[in-house]
């Protein structure tokens, strides 16, 4: 088996990248089993060391353990998001309880914990550097947060709960993916009045991919978003809106409502077992926000600041709808995108279709890569010798300004069966330094952009350009990593700090100097006209307050689920509507339920952490205001941002890193100013 299983031999690929071309589904299970076996041997070696516990023979050895297991599970979990299938789903269901048990066996191993504690107890006399102190602190605290101090009986309870949790989150995620891909709405040409030709062509492509005739609309973003924005037929908009917003609420084997209850209750039980009143208290102890009071303070502050403007925005859209449809027209959620688009066109003479021809994906990629070159001096070169997991994926070698190898970057841009919705950055290999060798990272950005068509390349919306910049910002955080320990490198930071590098990059999307570097008409090569950029700038804050309240609604919903002190047995839909009521400016619709498909807070890493997007927005507006002051391509400021934020990972408290870059703590003022609220 060893010769045939690519995970169990040294990778003979450029930069030892993952040999996707050799990996088959049948390789995962034996490699995972072997990985667990090897890590158990490594842990035993640490415990049975007759020497007294030291930082080197305990903490560093633990950090190095599990290399094979990490390698396999990283590839497996990333492909579960980007390119899964029924066979992989079945492997995940089988392996997940074993992997959870394996993880528990390490964190609940008292002999191992006593060695870690012995080092921790003498930390003040060990002369550790900042990064070593952080690794010790994070490891010791991590063991306690995973139940190391519990009684034998409580440890067994925790094992059961964590195993149940891993299966529930997997089931939630699989149900949502299947529900998204199962749905299709067959439409006819005459029902698509007002819809741009390329969107209609994409619906034709959807049908062909499903082996059908005609036009098919799906719930994937490049299909759903333009439908809601352009389709004049209100009943059809309502039909698609209801399909999207009732995912995983039907009695079709993919219902997540009971799973939501179980996930919320399971997390509460885990938190209370570990001595915390709520799951939010447990989570926020390891966040910049520190506690739920600070989170609610931010959400409430933003709600108060943005609500008056948001109400005016809704009134303007409602007036526009009445002007078009008659005075008795009541604006409903399925009308919002359609009439917003009409008003935006009227007021700013701008829409997605006007901009698309200037945002051809290849050019956008050149622009985004070129921005990194201009700020940091790094360059990108595609290497077709590096194996990829799907024909859509491209692999790039990234070189630093001195020409040295910096990282591998994979890009994966378009939706397909087996790929989750949304956009994310991930890592196939973290960065670390060992024996004087700086082993560089392999990172990936995955998105679901408008696909190319037979007669047209992939033409993006401005929103898709922003998404690209966002995920690319995460990738820079990964690529610039320069730390000793992989568990502290790159994006291994507090969750409410991780969005700063990504959201910071979004600021460039509406900057004229940046757009002029790449935004050319895909047919004529003409540079984007200056007056079009002016219109983009003027429209930048269009409905910004409504969008803020939408984000706040998700933050309040998240906190409502995870600040509970008692288990939940009620109606999920009803509870949700009460939780975010103060943020809702349009009529609520019976039967719709976000929680049943809210992967971020149910199966992702954002439970009690969705506020992070707004928290980081305060940081990114404040950080970019310095670039606006010094020049948006100022290399000195960029160098400071790289040195103090992007390369440091989780080696120091994030606020200290931020203040070192910015010279002061952030305030909400820069965000309010950017959004035109003050």
For 248-313, what is the HEC assignment? CCCCCCCCCHHHHHHHHHHHHHHHHHCCCCCHHHHHHCCCCCCCHHHHHHHHHHHHHHHHHHHHHH
Q: Are 594 and 480 in contact (CB under 8 A)?
A: no
Inter-helix orientation angle 257-273/544-562, to 10°: 60
Contact residues for 368 (Cβ-Cβ < 8 A; gap 6+): 468, 469, 472
Q: Are 24 and 391 in contact (CB under 8 A)?
A: no
Which residue bears the tokens 């400071």?
640
Which residue bears the tokens 């010094």?
630
Q: Which entry of 360, 471, 506, 511 is annotated as an active-site residue? A: 471
Contact residues for 115 (Cβ-Cβ < 8 A; gap 6+): 46, 47, 53, 58
Q: How far is residue 11's CA from residue 6's CA, in Å, rounded to a whole number? A: 7
Q: Looking at the DSSP assignment, which residues form a beta bridge with residue 446? A: 412, 424
Burial 264-279 (b: 16+ CB within 10 A, else e): bbbbbbbbbbbebebb
Q: How far is residue 296's CA from residue 87's CA, in Å, rounded to a whole number? A: 43
Inter-helix orientation angle 292-325/612-630, to 10°: 80
> In whole angstroms, how far apart are CA 380 and each of 20, 369, 407, 619?
21, 7, 10, 28
Q: Are 548 and 306 in contact (CB under 8 A)?
A: yes
Among left, alpha and beta (phi > 0; psi -120 to 50; other), residue 649 is left
Phi, psi of 522 (to 5 degrees): -65, -20
Nearest in space to 72 (alpha carbons), one of 108, 131, 24, 120: 24
End-to-end C-alpha distance for the chain, whole angstroms: 65
Q: How far is residue 119's CA from residue 114's CA, in Å, rounded to a whole number? A: 9
Q: How far is residue 142's CA from residue 631's CA, in Å, rounded to a whole number? A: 41
Q: Tokens in use for 292?
A: 């739920």
> In whole angstroms, how far apart are CA 225 and each of 168, 199, 380, 458, 614?
29, 10, 32, 16, 23
Q: Tokens in use for 290?
A: 């520190």
Residues in the chain, total:
678
Q: How far is residue 359's CA from residue 462's CA, in Å, rounded to a whole number? A: 8
Catalytic residue flag (residue 471): yes
Among left, alpha and beta (phi > 0; psi -120 to 50; other), residue 275 is left
Q: How many CB atoms lie within 10 A of CB 310?
A: 22
Q: Which residues are catalytic?
A: 471
């Amino acid at each position: 088996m060893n010769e045939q299983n690519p995970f169990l031999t040294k990778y003979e690929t450029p930069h030892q990248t993952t040999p996707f071309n050799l990996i088959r589904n049948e390789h995962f299970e034996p490699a995972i089993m072997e990985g667990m076996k090897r890590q158990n041997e490594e842990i035993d070696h640490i415990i049975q060391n007759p020497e007294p516990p030291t930082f080197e023979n305990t903490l560093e050895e633990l950090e190095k353990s599990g290399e094979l297991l990490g390698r396999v599970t990283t590839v497996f979990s990333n492909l579960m998001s980007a390119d899964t299938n029924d066979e992989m789903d079945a492997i995940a269901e089988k392996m997940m309880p074993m992997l959870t048990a394996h993880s528990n066996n390490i964190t609940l191993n008292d002999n191992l914990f006593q060695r870690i504690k012995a080092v921790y107890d003498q930390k003040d006399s060990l002369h550790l550097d900042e990064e070593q102190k952080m690794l010790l602190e994070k490891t010791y605290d991590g063991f306690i947060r995973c139940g190391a101090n519990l009684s034998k009986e409580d440890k067994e309870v925790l094992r059961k709960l964590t195993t149940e949790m891993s299966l529930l989150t997997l089931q939630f995620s699989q149900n949502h993916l299947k529900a998204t891909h199962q749905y299709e709405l067959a439409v006819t040409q005459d029902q698509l009045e007002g819809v741009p030709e390329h969107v209609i062509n994409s619906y034709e492509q959807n049908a062909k991919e499903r082996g059908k005739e005609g036009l098919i609309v799906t719930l994937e973003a490049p299909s759903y978003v333009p439908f809601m924005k352009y389709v004049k037929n209100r009943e059809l908009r309502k039909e698609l809106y209801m399909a999207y917003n009732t995912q995983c609420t039907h009695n079709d084997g993919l219902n997540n409502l009971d799973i939501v209850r179980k996930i919320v209750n399971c997390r509460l039980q885990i938190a209370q077992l570990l001595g915390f009143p709520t799951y939010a208290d447990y989570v926020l102890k390891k966040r910049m926000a520190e506690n739920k009071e600070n989170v609610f303070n931010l959400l409430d502050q933003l709600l108060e600041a943005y609500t008056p403007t948001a109400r005016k925005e809704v009134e303007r859209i409602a007036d526009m709808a009445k002007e078009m449809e008659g005075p008795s027209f009541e604006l409903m959620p399925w009308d919002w995108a359609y009439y917003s688009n009409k008003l935006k066109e009227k007021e700013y003479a701008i829409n997605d279709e006007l901009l698309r021809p200037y945002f051809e994906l290849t050019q956008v990629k050149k622009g985004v890569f070129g921005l990194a070159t201009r700020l940091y001096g790094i360059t990108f070169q595609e290497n077709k010798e590096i194996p990829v997991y799907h024909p859509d994926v491209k692999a790039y070698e990234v070189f630093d300004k001195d020409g040295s190898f910096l990282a591998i970057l994979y890009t994966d841009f378009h939706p397909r069966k087996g790929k989750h919705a949304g956009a994310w950055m991930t890592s196939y290999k973290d960065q670390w330094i060992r024996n004087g060798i700086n082993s560089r990272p392999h990172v990936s950005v995955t998105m679901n952009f408008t696909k190319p068509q037979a007669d047209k390349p992939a033409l993006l919306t401005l929103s898709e350009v922003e998404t690209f910049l966002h995920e690319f910002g995460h990738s820079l955080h990964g690529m610039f990593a320069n730390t000793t320990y992989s568990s502290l490198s790159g994006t291994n930071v507090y969750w409410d700090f991780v969005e700063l590098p990504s959201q910071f990059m979004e600021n460039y999307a509406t900057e004229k100097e940046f757009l002029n570097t790449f935004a050319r008409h895909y047919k004529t090569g003409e540079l984007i006209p200056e007056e079009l950029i002016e219109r983009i700038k003027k429209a930048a804050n269009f409905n910004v307050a409504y969008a803020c309240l939408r984000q706040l609604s998700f933050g309040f919903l998240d906190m409502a689920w995870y600040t509970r002190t008692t288990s939940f047995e009620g109606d999920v839909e009803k509870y949700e509507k009460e939780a975010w009521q103060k943020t809702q400016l349009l009529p609520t619709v019976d039967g719709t339920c976000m929680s049943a498909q809210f992967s971020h807070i149910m199966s992702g890493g954002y439970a009690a952490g969705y506020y992070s997007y707004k928290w980081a927005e305060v940081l990114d507006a404040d950080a970019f205001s310095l670039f606006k002051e010094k020049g948006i391509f100022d290399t000195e400021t960029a160098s400071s941002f790289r040195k103090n934020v992007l390369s440091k990972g989780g080696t120091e408290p994030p606020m200290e890193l931020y203040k070192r870059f910015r010279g002061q703590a952030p305030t909400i003022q820069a965000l309010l100013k950017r959004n035109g609220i003050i």
